[in-house]
Structure 1
Amino acid sequence: MESQGNTQIKIGIYLAIGTICILGSIFFLGADKALFRRYVKIHAHFEQVQGLAVGSVVSLSGVTVGNVQDITFLPDENKLDVTMSIDEKFLKRIRKESAVEIRTQGALGDKFVLIFPGDPRQPEVKDGDVLPLAKASDLLGILTERGGEAGKIFDVVNEVYKMAHTINAENRMEKIMMNFDTASSNLAQTSKDIQKIVGNSSGGVKLNHSIEKLDSILTKIDKGEGSLGLLINDPSIHNQLKAALGGGGTQRKNQVKTLLRTSIEKED
C-alpha cells in the first residue's frame, strides 16, 4: 500500500511539472515573450479619437510597435490623452518631432495610431513625452478635421445631382444631343459647300481674280494714284477741305467771296 501511494505521488508530481512546462511554453510563445521586453509610455492629445479603443495598434511607418494602453480626458483641456505603450527597441526611430495621427485600417474601419518617424538628428523620445499631431492625410480624417467646410462638398454634390436630374428630365439631354448633332451636320455640309466653291475651277479663278483686283486697288491708293489716293495721301487737299468746312471765319469768307466773284464773272 505504501509503495502504491508513493507511485501516485510521483505521478502527480510529474503531471504538475509537465503542466507547468506546457503553460510556460504557451505563455512565452503566445505572449510574444513579453517578460523579456521593456515598454515605454508616450502620449498624444487628440480632440477626438474617432472610434480608437484601448488595445488598438500603434504603427510606426506601417510596422506594429505597440498598442494603445489608455484613453482619458485631460483635466484642463477639451482633449483626450491617448497613452501608447511602445516597445523600447523602436524608440531610436521615434524622435521628439515625430507626429502622430489616427487612421482607418481595412474594410471594417478599425482605427489605429500611425507614428511618422522624425528627423534622426533630433533626440529620442522618453517615457512620458507627448508627440505632436500630424495633419490628417486620409479622406475620412480630412473630412473630420475640416468639419463644416467638408459639408460644402456634399452641398456641391447635391447641386450637381439636381442639375443632372433637371437636364435628364423629359428627355432634355436626348434633345440637346440631337440639336448638337444637327448643328454639327449643318456645319459639315456648309464646309463641304465652301470647299466645292473654292475647289471649282471657275469659282476658284473668279475668287483669285477678285482678290488680285482688290490688292491692285489698295496698292494704287497706298501709292497715291487716282483721286482717292491723292485725297488720302496729299495733305494740301485735306487742309483745303478743312479750311472750307471748318477753318477760320476770315479765311472762309474770303473763299466764299472768291467763289461768288468767279460765278458773277462767268455770268457776265
Structure 2
Amino acid sequence: MESSLKNQLKVGIFVTVGIIAIMGSIFMLGANKALFSNFAHLYAEFENVQGLARGSVVSLSGVVIGNVEKIEFVSEKNALKVDMKIEDGFLERVFEGSQVEIRTQGALGDKYIYVIPGNPKSKNVVNGSTLPVAKSTDLLNVLSERGKESEKIFDIINEVYKLTKTLNQDNKIGTLINNLTNSSEDMKKVSEKSLKLVSEFSDGKSTALQFKNSVDKMNNILTKIDKGEGTLGALINDSTLHEQLKSLVGGSQRKNHVKSVIRSSIEKAED
C-alpha cells in the first residue's frame, strides 16, 4: 500500500516538473528568448509607447535582437522608460549614434521597437546605455498626430474608392481606355497632317519665289516690247507695217485689190 502511494507521488512530481518545463520552454520561445544566452540591457525614454507591451520585439535592420523587458514611468518626467533586453552577441552591432523608434507590424499589427543603426565607424554602445528616440515615421502615428488633417486623407481615399467603383460598372474603364486610345490615334494623325502642311508650305515658299521671278522677267520683256526694242517690238511699234497690213486685210484698199483680182481672172477665162 505504501509502495503504491510512493510510486504515484513520484509520477505526480515527474509529470508536474515536465509540465512546468514545457510551459517554460514555450514561454521562453514565444518571447523570442534563448535559454542559455547572455543578455545586455539598453534603455529608451518615450513620451508615448503607443501600445508597446512587455515582450514586444526589438529589431535591428529587420533582425530580432531582443525583447522589451519592462516599461515604467519616469519620476518627475512626462515620459516612459523602456528596458530592452538584448542578446549580448548583437550588442556589438549597435553603435553610438543609433536611435530607436516604435513601429507597427502590418497595417494594424503589434508594436515593436526598431533600432536605427548608427555609424559603423563609431564605438559600440555599452550595457546600460540609453539610446535617443528618433522622430516617429510610423504612418498610423503620423496620422493620429495630424488629427483633423488626417481625416481629409481618408475622405480623399473614400472619394477615390467611389470613383473607381463607378468606373468599374458597365465596363466604363474599358470604354474610357478605348476612347483615350482612339483620341491618341486621332491626335497622331492631326500631328502628321500638320507636319505635312508645314513641309508643303515650306516648299511653296520656293515655288512662289520662282513665280515672282517669272513675272518680273515677263514684265521686263513687255517693257522692252513697248519701247520697240527687239524684232517683236519693232514689228508692233512700226506704223508703216501697220498701214500695209491694214490695207491688205481691211478698208477700201482691200476692196480694190479684190476687184482687180476678180477682173484679171475673168479676162483670163474669156481668152
Q: Structure 1 length as normaliser, TM-score?
A: 0.51
Q: Secondary structure at the residue paired with 1:100? A: strand
Separation in structure 1 between the aligned mates of residue 25 and residue 4 of structure 2, nearest angstrom:
31
From 188, 191, 197, the counterpart of 2:190? 188
CA change 1:41–1:196 in 2 (3 A) is: closer
Looking at CA atoms only, which structure, 1 or 2, has the larger radius of gyration? 2
Separation in structure 1 between the aligned mates of residue 24 and residue 153 of structure 2, nearest angstrom:
52
Separation in structure 2 between the aligned mates of residue 62 and residue 134 of structure 1, nearest angstrom:
17
CA change 1:14–1:80 in 2 (3 A) is: closer
8 Å CA contact 1:28, 1:34 repeated in 2: no
Structure 2's unaligned 5+ residue stretches are: 164-175, 215-271
Separation in structure 1 between the aligned mates of residue 199 and residue 37 of structure 2, nearest angstrom:
92
8 Å CA contact 1:51, 1:111 repeated in 2: yes
> What does the per-residue CA deviation read over 1:211-243, in whole Å, with 9 as the maximum and x for residues that have no partner?
346799xxxxxxxxxxxxxxxxxxxxxxxxxxx
Quote the offset at 1:102 in angstroms. Answer: 0.9
CA change 1:82–1:189 in 2 (3 A) is: closer
Q: Secondary structure at the residue paired with 2:4? A: helix
Structure-to-structure mapping, 1:30-109, within 5 angstroms = 30=26, 31-32=28-29, 36-109=36-109
Separation in structure 2 between the aligned mates of residue 83 and residue 215 of structure 1, nearest angstrom:
97
1:22 maps to 2:8: no
Q: Secondary structure at the residue paired with 2:50? A: coil
Separation in structure 1 between the aligned mates of residue 7 and residue 154 of structure 2, nearest angstrom:
77
> What does the per-residue CA deviation read over 1:129-175, in whole Å, with 9 as the maximum and x for residues that have no partner?
21012344443355457x479659749959x98xx9xxxxxxxxx9x
Q: Secondary structure at the residue paired with 1:29? A: helix
Structure-to-structure mapping, 1:86-165, within 5 angstroms = 86-143=86-143, 147=146, 151=150, 154=153, 157=156
CA change 1:44–1:188 in 2 (3 A) is: same
Quote the offset at 1:188 in angstroms. Answer: 3.4
Residue 221 (structure 1) aligns with: none
Quote the offset at 1:125 in angstroms. Answer: 2.8
Report the aligned-residue RMSD: 4.7
Would you say how many aligned residue pairs link Structure 1 and Structure 2? 189
Separation in structure 2 between the aligned mates of residue 17 and residue 215 of structure 1, nearest angstrom:
124
Separation in structure 1 between the aligned mates of residue 46 and residue 124 of structure 2, nearest angstrom:
22
> What does the per-residue CA deviation read over 1:175-215, in whole Å, with 9 as the maximum and x for residues that have no partner?
xx99xx7xx78x939947x749949xxxx7x6533234679
> What does the per-residue CA deviation read over 1:106-127, in whole Å, with 9 as the maximum and x for residues that have no partner?
3432111011333344333333
Q: Secondary structure at the residue paired with 1:131? A: coil
Separation in structure 2 between the aligned mates of residue 21 and residue 148 of structure 1, nearest angstrom:
53
Of the structure 1 ranges 48-57 and 98-107, higher mean CA displacement relative to structure 2 is found in 48-57
Separation in structure 1 between the aligned mates of residue 17 and residue 111 of structure 2, nearest angstrom:
37
> What does the per-residue CA deviation read over 1:52-78, in whole Å, with 9 as the maximum and x for residues that have no partner?
222211112222222223333333443
CA change 1:140–1:215 in 2 (3 A) is: farther
8 Å CA contact 2:102, 2:138 repeated in 1: no
Separation in structure 1 between the aligned mates of residue 88 and residue 191 of structure 2, nearest angstrom:
79
Q: Structure 2 length as normaliser, TM-score?
A: 0.51
Separation in structure 1 between the aligned mates of residue 104 and residue 199 of structure 2, nearest angstrom:
68
Separation in structure 2 between the aligned mates of residue 81 and residue 142 of structure 1, nearest angstrom:
22
Separation in structure 2 between the aligned mates of residue 42 and residue 151 of structure 1, nearest angstrom:
34
Aligned partner letter, 1:211:
L
CA change 1:140–1:211 in 2 (3 A) is: farther
